[in-house]
A = this chain, B = another copy of it.
Amino acid sequence: MLSKSLSEALFTCAVLTKKKMDDLLPNEFSESQIVAAMRYSALSDGKKIRPFLLLVCAEILGTPAISALDVAAAIEFVHVYSLIHDDLPAMDDDDFRRGNPTCHKKFNEATAILAGDALLTYAFEILADSKTHKDPSIRCELIKILARSAGFHGMVGGQMLDLENLNNKISKEKLANLHRLKTGELFMASCEMGAVLGHATMQERQALRYYAHDIGLAFQIRDDILDHKGVSFGKIELDETHPKKSKENASIVDVVGMDHALQQLVLLKTQATEHLKIFGDKAKILHELADFVVTRER
């Protein structure tokens, strides 16, 4: 993927990861609708940024992306589970996701909770499987990184903080911490897992984590900016025809203002690319990704 343009590489990654997710998910719809719900959410279109980070980091370090697709799918299953649960009425209460009804709207709340649980569990089943990687110590390392970043001291902790601060005034620092947990942790895990697959040195691994930290924050800030402009992900387009939700997640634009948010973006991008120096030209596509993250319009 490193020889492609960013948009080609993103497209290739999205296609390959979706195909792998499709292959890994069961096909039986017979007895219950849980598999249908898992497939509905997991196979909807998404950017697949986390798989992209993983595959690119592995490839920069010499491990072919194609051999890391099971791990990429596992990360994306965890991301999808988090979206399904975040959309629930008790959480962010969203009716639409990427232009389609959310899982609990398409099915029902119980099915959405269980489909999320099942996807999270399945991610670990995949990572523990010898088909995913021949070395069990690598598999354990991947599981530890993913579990730590997704759990209470990572993504789930971030979602909890977000809910606890709905409609509240929140400090800039607290919001950055919340974003780091909610979005940054899984970005960092994606890069770190790629580094592990590529047998990175500690210095390389740390550099990729720092890079992921910065673009994770930048990604979230760009989301807030786009939300503010009202064009994010097609979700807002739909929301314009729906009544505004009573719950509002904390937004960086509300806390520091649009100008400051845009300055933050530039700063984070510069910082992110600094961390890539040790990789030289090999990391070109990660520079381009950083550009994309801070300038994207959807």
Contact = CB atoms under 8 A, between A and B. Distances in A.
Interface of A: 26, 31-35, 38, 81, 85, 88, 90-91, 108-111, 113-114, 116-118, 120-122, 124-125, 127-130, 136-137, 139-141, 143-144, 147-148, 150-153, 156-157, 159-161, 163-164
A118 B34 contact: no
8 contacts: A81-B117, A85-B113, A111-B160, A111-B163, A121-B150, A125-B151, A136-B137, A136-B140
Contacts of A85: 113-114, 117
Interface centre among A33, A122, A130, A143 (most CB of B within 10 A): A143
How many copies of the chain does the oligomer comprise?
2
A85 B115 CA distance: 12
A140 to B, nearest CB: 5
A32 B161 contact: yes
Nearest to A122: B151
Contact of A144 (B32, B38, B125): B125
A137 B160 CA distance: 34
A109 B88 CA distance: 10
Given A110-B91, A125-B147, A139-B140, A152 B120 contact: no
Return the 6 tightest CB-CB contacts between A and B, nearest first. Answer: A125-B147, A90-B109, A128-B143, A118-B152, A121-B151, A136-B136
A70 to B, nearest CB: 13
Nearest to A153: B26
A7 to B, nearest CB: 33
A102 to B, nearest CB: 14
Nearest to A91: B110
A88 B117 contact: no
B161 A148 contact: no
Contact of A128 (B32, B144, B150): B144
A122 B153 CA distance: 10
Contact of A90 (B113, B124, B153, B163): B113
A180 to B, nearest CB: 12
Chain B CB count within 10 A is highest, among A26, A91, A128, A141, for A128
Contact of A147 (B122, B139, B153): B122
